[in-house]
Structure 1
Amino acid sequence: MSLRDHAREAIRDEVAKHAWTLFAAHGYEATTVDQIADAAGMSRRTFFRYFAGKDELVLERLVESGNLIATALEQRPADEAAWPALRAAFSATIRLQEQHHEKSRPLQLMLRAEPALRATIETRRRLWVERLAPLTAARLPSTDAADRSGTRAAAVTASAVACLEAAQIAWAENPGTSLGELLDDAMGAVAPLR
């Protein structure tokens, strides 16, 4: 990356931090582009040089979380089975959410409650499954891998992501609970199906 690219990414990251702080405090719909731009110390016009809109801010951060999980999954021992490897890979994002629970909980609730974000959440889910399924496929026991391994990997990955989402919702709605324990409960309920 060039120096200009690094600078652009740093600015985008700074704007995103301000946006997520505002989203946590006021909700997605109630937060305007003008408020985000003002918090980041830029004009509305400058904001649109970096982002197409608020939804891009949300999706970008969610994709980054998926990339964090994918990196963690790649670093798991090669002989570890798919389900426990996915659970361990989710630990990276769980730690961050629990460390920053004062922002994470309201943001999790916002992601589920705001109608304008439903398409963004579905896009995130699809992108995560596309990114994680090939890594999961390598960890599944082989059958007649001709054409079913992709389907099996996508199903296992989507199930694990659904468990994470269920745990996040329960955690956001019940302060004082442990996100890691809730995820263990959710994934434990599905584990016999592997």
Structure 2
Amino acid sequence: MSEAAHTSSKTSGPSTRDIARAAVRARLAEVAFDLFRREGFDRVTVNEVSAAAGVSRSTFLRYFTSKEDAILSSFDAQDELAEQALLACPADQDDWTALQHAMSTTLEPFRRAQREFLPLARLVENTPALTAGRREKQVVWRDALARALAARAGGSASEAPPLPALVRAAAAVECMNIAVAQWARSDGNAGLDDLLDAAFAALREG
């Protein structure tokens, strides 16, 4: 095998170490989520999650910075999904339609695995610390979406986005939050896409 081919084979996918780390991380998040659902988020400590998972506190903290992170890590990839979806929209599509499509893309895990994501959404909505943590993460989403909006308008994605783009992006993220919150409160009976449609419709009317 040539050196180039050997290098390519090494970089063509995740390493065994990465796969093992992801598996441990997923297992710790699962244990944490189960405990939080049964006992209540505020009543469970990092030490208790670590003990339930059969690892030390220091091991847990190598994978997550906090118990909030163990739950909110489920949303880590959503900003990239939303940004890519927005950039892929037709250039002549209006911003609100493009933003709604981007937000709809981030909800695909909720549609695909409702049994897992409905309890997660309820936990986040009913736990102030998790709601605050999610909003902190969403500042990154807002900025990414605003840069994508600026790029769609012919600006540079590397520059600070203009205020109108930031406002539109923030409003779109909030539409998604409201749709998910209403979906969780309905115990999944309300249509998630219908709720997102209604949220954006209300925004457009305003």
Shorter-chain TM-score category?
Answer: 0.7 to 0.9
Q: TM-score, normalised by structure 1?
A: 0.79
Q: 2:141 aligns with which of 111, 116, 128?
A: 128
Q: TM-score, normalised by structure 2?
A: 0.75
Q: 1:51 maps to what in 2?
A: 64
Give the Cα separation in 2 of the matches to 1:24 and 1:187.
Answer: 31
Q: 2:168 maps to what in 1?
A: 156
Q: Offset of 1:25 from its aligned partner? A: 4.8
Q: Percent identity?
A: 34
Q: Deviations over 1:66-104 (max 9, x none)?
A: 222223223333332221112112223323113322332
AA aligned to 1:105 is L
Q: Offset of 1:16 from its aligned partner? A: 2.6
Secondary structure of 1:52's partner? Answer: coil
Q: 2:195 maps to what in 1?
A: 182
Alignment of 1:114-125 (within 5 A): 114-125=127-138
Deviating beyond 6 angstroms after TM superposition, the runs of 4 or more aligned structure 1 residues are none
Q: Are the counterparts in 1 of residues 103 and 172 from structure 2 also a CA contact under 8 Å?
A: no
Q: Are the counterparts in 1 of residues 87 and 152 from structure 2 also a CA contact under 8 Å?
A: no
Higher relative contact order (CA 8 A, sep 6+): 1
Q: 2:180 maps to what in 1?
A: 168
Q: Are the counterparts in 1 of residues 104 and 196 from structure 2 also a CA contact under 8 Å?
A: no
Q: 1:103 aligns with which of 116, 121, 124?
A: 116
Alignment of 1:131-142 (within 5 A): 131-140=144-153
Q: 1:20 maps to what in 2?
A: 33
Q: Which has the larger radius of gyration?
A: 2
Q: Offset of 1:3 from its aligned partner? A: 5.2
Q: Offset of 1:180 from its aligned partner? A: 0.5
Cα RMSD of the aligned pairs, angstroms, is 2.9
Q: Given the alignment of the two structures, is residue 80 of structure 1 paired with residue 90 of structure 2, yes or no?
A: no
AA aligned to 1:48 is L
Q: Offset of 1:39 from its aligned partner? A: 5.2
Give the Cα separation in 2 of the matches to 1:82 and 1:26.
Answer: 43
Unpaired stretches in structure 1, ≥5 consecutive residues: none
Name whichever of 69-78 and 23-32 sits farther off: 23-32
Give the Cα separation in 1 of the matches to 2:67 and 2:132.
Answer: 13
